[in-house]
Chain A
Amino acid sequence: MAYDLKMRVWRGDADGGELTDYTVEVSEGEVVLDALHRLQATQTGDLAIRWNCKAGKCGSCSAEVNGRPRLMCMTRLSDFEPSETITVTPMRTFPVIRDLVTDVSFNYEKARELPYAELGPRDADGKRRMMQVDVERGQEFRKCIECYLCQDVCHVVRDHEDNKQHFAGPRFFIRYAELDMHPLDTHDRRKLAQDAAGLGMCNITKCCTEVCPEGIHITDNAIIPMKERVVDRKYDPLVWLGNKIGLRNKDNDGRAEV
């Protein structure tokens, strides 16, 4: 079931570039990355692609296929008509290095700004006890493969370069949520999430959730709960009143603001 696929691939670097047309033979069961690899092996050996596992597990081959942020290894050609031209471009939120490879250092910068897990002492027998129901929410966020497609699609930085400085992006909001929901962590990062990470910049239009290849409910399970936690801290007079009269949520005991 082999056929000739028409592709338009963005070729170039930071100084400029353009969509270039190719025709490449592909066969049944293949994905966009297979087609590009065949291009690389047969027509244009220096086509730059970032990829690793080719199984949707490492999150390296992020790009935009027909304008939609996708993992190239998980985009099956059978999702398209054989006559359709498939356009592949690098992620359009990050600076391009060459061809389909972008400079994603923005994300590594943001990772560095985040205060890490800081657990209290272990139990007497040297082990830790956490119940499955208490770790499950965090586990969903730890499924993240750091493909940065959510960061790519997020209009806060995609459409506004100047916001990059003050906005950590969906990938790191799920990290904040993960740590805030960790049963044994000792930090309270709500203030940071609001101030330094720019949680308030998010207008929950949910594109991050739509593009997540791991199906993480970024908006509903992480960003909105984080916004609600910020509200707890700052905008809920009932909580404020409760604190004044000594009625408070003991669930947050042992946490210190960072």
Chain B
Amino acid sequence: MISESRHPMTGNEMSPEARGGMERHAYDVVVIGAGGAGLRAAIAAHEAGARTAVVCKSLLGKAHTVMAEGGAAAALGNRWPEDSWKVHFRDTMRGGKMLNNWRMAQLHAQEAPDRVLELEDWGALFDRTEDGLISQRDFGGHKYARLAHVGDRTGLELIRTLQQRTVQLGIDVYMECTVTEVLKDGGRVAGAFGYWRETGRFVTFEAPSVILATGGIGKSYKVTSNSWEYTGDGHALALRAGATLINMEFVQFHPTGMVWPPSVKGLLVTESVRGDGGILRNSEGKRFMFDYIPDFFRSETADTEEEADRWYDDKLNNRRPPELLPRDEVARAINSEIKAGRGSPHGGIFLDIASRRDADYIRKRLPSMYHQFKELADVDITAEPMEIGPTCHYVMGGVEVDPDTQQSAVPGLYAAGEVSGGMHGSNRLGGNSLSDLLVFGKRAGEDAAAYATTGDRPTVDEADLKAAQASALAPFEVEGGENPYTIQHDLQQSMNDLVGIIRTAPELEESLGELERLKERADRMVVEGHRQYNPGWHLALDLRNMLLVSECIAKAALARQESRGGHTRDDFPGPDPEWGAKNLVLSIDADGTGVEIAEKPLPVMPDDLQQLFEDK
């Protein structure tokens, strides 16, 4: 059983200083976040010999990675021997409208197969081909069937495998513990400061390397597939620590989220539904995607229903159905159909697989979708179409990092997974997220472990700790203000309305004004009760991060005067080659309450890779 000196929740040994004063722990590498990227980073750091800890807001194994459904993209070539990292690289760059950091896209395409095979060594059970190899499925934007998958619960398989590996290696995990500050010693990282959600007590981690693996920002939007944890913590921590963010204007709206009932609005409906034969229809019964094929993808997209339907069985001689265009294209098309009044009764459009595949096939390939609609909406997807609409799903933007090491501008501060930026350019392809987590999680973990052994250990400044504590407790000090739930609600509404799929300059300006007002309201918010497991207080602290990140999105969206990938401006409808050559870089302003924006040219792709785009 658990001994007295162990934490009851985690079983971790607590340091002697914990009694009375603040709990302190010393590590080489501290990973913030226990999703796919965080756990993969922790495993890599541990295997590189570093004393490693994972700190996460939820219980181990609950992170948002479990929600990933479709699969992990990796050019294993199990279905199509023609597939290779070069094709995957090309698909990724084209999906991101060439705004990706080419080096990250290259490393990702090259290393994803190894990272997936490694999971199998650790006990993952992927679906198999007839030859017993890992099966691979079709997804939007991928030329070949490339997604290693387990039914439609691949994320669960991935996180469970990594979780079990983490526990097996004996890595310390601090569960239900939120980090509120990255601590520094001069210009470099010195550790992290946070609190136990359970007790409200503070805890300090002293470590030369801190890896951010906190995921995305979706909770700033009203209609989102993201869970409460997605409050942009890592983005905000990085900004406040002095690192920079890029590509924040690019927010991916997944084309297919549930629209009814209201309590699950936004909940993800996997792209596999379309990969396995599902099609989109409007209220007139029209398969409308054929009207929305952009020139950029015209040569590789079917223009008749007959050709599209043949493609599922004969991929060599037919072009892809337009339902499998990259997500940004499909989301915009759905948005237009709904706006034109051709939507479904609950304000979505129809996603139909019932009339296209038999019931057994659907239940076998899409078990959790079947379950989800049956239980939550009373809809049998083997008998009737689903009603779906776009939902905020993923942020392409994130911490600007070195592509090989994932280190940010701050020495010792790393970012991996959704919280890092650059890999996906202006739009992420489905399936590239799970492989991104694995590839760059490992790279970040290895380099963080190596960095931790260089030079002398940094020391934490006691004054910084005092300030961090005061800041965390501030919401208890105020009287007479608003509760954080109201402010969060207003923020989500305003981001949804003003910084959504289709954007215009006046609306973006309005949103920035609204954000300023929300910030003022947040300064005066109050929380009731005490520090022990108090969700109101937790939200109050997360809300600061949400506000800061929302400002980044709105500012960058206003600055980028073109439409590209996950960023669509009604007043600048097309892509602009000049904008296609630069990133927008955000940093914290001088008084630490707002953000500043700057332009920066994209790194130039070497000729041999450039060649891949000219051949065809």
Residue numbers of A with Cβ under 8 A of B are 13, 27-31, 34, 40-42, 44-60, 74, 76, 95, 97-99, 101, 103-105, 108-109, 111-112, 116-117, 119, 122, 126-132, 135, 138-139, 142-146, 164-165, 179, 182, 185, 215
Contact = CB atoms under 8 A, between A and B. Distances in A.
Most buried by A among B165, B484, B485, B537: B485
A116 B133 contact: no
Nearest to B69: A57
A105 B536 contact: no
Contact of A128 (B11, B120, B261): B120
A126 B485 contact: no
Given A46-B528, A52-B228, A117-B122, A105 B64 contact: no
B421 to A, nearest CB: 24
A56 B67 contact: no
Contact of A103 (B8, B368, B371, B529): B8
A116 B168 contact: yes
16 contacts: A42-B485, A45-B485, A49-B535, A53-B67, A56-B376, A97-B198, A103-B8, A109-B2, A111-B164, A111-B167, A117-B122, A122-B121, A128-B120, A142-B125, A142-B156, A185-B123
Closest 7 CB pairs of A and B: A29-B261, A46-B529, A117-B123, A129-B132, A45-B536, A41-B485, A48-B533
Contacts of B153: 57, 143
A55 B529 contact: no
Contacts, number: 187
Interface of A is mostly: loop
B229 interface: yes
Given A31-B376, A116-B165, 8 more contacts: A48-B532, A48-B534, A56-B371, A58-B58, A116-B167, A142-B156, A146-B160, A215-B371
Contacts of B66: 53, 57-58, 145
Interface residues of B, number: 71
A126 B132 contact: no
A220 to B, nearest CB: 18
A137 to B, nearest CB: 9
B11 A53 contact: no
A152 to B, nearest CB: 15
Nearest to A133: B128
Nearest to B151: A139
Given A105-B2, A109-B11, A182-B123, A51 B228 contact: yes
B131 interface: yes
Interface string B63-96: 0101100000000100000000000000000000
B483 interface: yes
Contacts of B533: 48, 97-99, 101
B263 A34 contact: yes
A30 B263 contact: yes
B145 to A, nearest CB: 16
A108 B176 CA distance: 13
Nearest to B132: A129
A185 B228 CA distance: 37
A152 B484 CA distance: 33
Contacts of A139: 125, 127, 150-151
A57 B156 contact: yes
B377 interface: yes
B606 interface: no
A143 B156 contact: yes
B262 interface: yes
Interface string B280-315: 000000000000000000000000000000000000
A29 B133 contact: no
A34 B262 CA distance: 10
B62 A60 contact: yes
B372 A55 contact: yes
B62 to A, nearest CB: 4
Contact of B62 (A52, A119, A130): A52
Contacts of A185: 123
Interface of B: 1-2, 8-11, 58-62, 64, 66-67, 76, 117, 120-123, 125-128, 131-134, 150-151, 153, 156-157, 160, 164-165, 167-168, 175, 198, 227-229, 260-264, 267-268, 368, 371-372, 375-377, 483-486, 489, 527-530, 532-537
Nearest to B173: A108
A54 B62 CA distance: 11
A180 to B, nearest CB: 12
Nearest to B130: A132
B1 A29 contact: no
Nearest to A58: B62
A101 B128 CA distance: 39
Nearest to A127: B133
Contacts of A109: 1-2, 11
A146 B120 contact: no
A207 to B, nearest CB: 20
A105 B9 contact: yes
A47 B486 CA distance: 16
Given A48-B535, A103-B9, A57 B375 contact: no
A56 B228 contact: no
A105 B10 contact: yes
Contacts of B164: 111, 116-117
B132 A165 contact: no
Contact of A54 (B8, B264, B375): B264
A129 B483 contact: no
A237 B61 CA distance: 42
Contacts of A55: 67, 264, 267-268, 372, 376
Contacts of A135: 125-128
Contact of A165 (B1, B11, B128, B131): B1
Nearest to A146: B61
B224 to A, nearest CB: 11
A103 B60 CA distance: 13
A135 B125 CA distance: 6
A98 B8 CA distance: 14
A112 B167 contact: yes
Given A34-B263, A74-B376, A117-B122, A47 B133 contact: no
Contact of A142 (B64, B160, B198, B260): B160
A27 B262 contact: yes
Nearest to A132: B128
A74 B375 contact: yes
A138 B377 CA distance: 29
B150 to A, nearest CB: 6
A45 B528 contact: yes
B67 A58 contact: yes
